[in-house]
Amino acid sequence: MAEFKELFQSGDWKAEKHVPIIEAPDKAKKGEWIKVTATVGKEVDHPNKTEHHISWMALYFHPEGEKFPYEIGKADFSCHGASAQGPDTSSVYTHHEVTFSFKTDKPGIIYASSLCNIHGLWQNAKALQVS
């Protein structure tokens, strides 16, 4: 049986539409709010249809020297064009982008994960320096 961590896929977000893009500063000051935005499909569009969509995205921060990461937040994307009339008959769609803010006194790694209902789990990471 595969380990859960082995189910996460990764790649170059400029070529692979499923990889979450992390937009955050490279450096931050201790105790100041850090704004992090994660998007799927910013460079290469990802479908947002009833039959093929991003279901959710989550952000984590793993401070240097600590055993576990902290979940910063998770967003579910619920509208993909479905209505009582059937798939892709609605004009309501959720955009797969999320922004969270957090603060820390330690450097570490920001992680983003996403779930495509057809192509599974995807991840990306970005280092954050704190002074």
Question: What domains are defined for the chain?
Answer: 7-130 (2.60.40.730)
Q: Answer yes or no: are the C-beta atoms of 123 and 115 closer than 8 Å.
A: no
pLDDT score recorded for residue 110: 98
Q: Tell me which residue has tokens 């955009």.
A: 95
79 tagged catalytic: no
Asked if pLDDT for residue 13 goes beyond 80, the answer is: no
Provide the sign of the torsion angle of the four alpha carbons 38, 40, 41, 47, taken in this order. Answer: negative
3-state secondary structure of 7: helix
Q: How far apart are CA 15 and CA 17, in angstroms?
A: 6
pLDDT score recorded for residue 116: 95
The stretch 23-36 carries a mean pLDDT of: 97
pTM over 0.85: yes
Which position among 23, 62, 79, 119 bears the catalytic label?
119
Which position among 17, 42, 53, 80 bears the catalytic label?
17
Residue range 68-115, pLDDT digits in tens: 999 999 999 999 999 999 999 999 999 999 999 999 999 999 999 999
Q: How far apart are CA 33 and CA 30, in angstroms?
A: 9
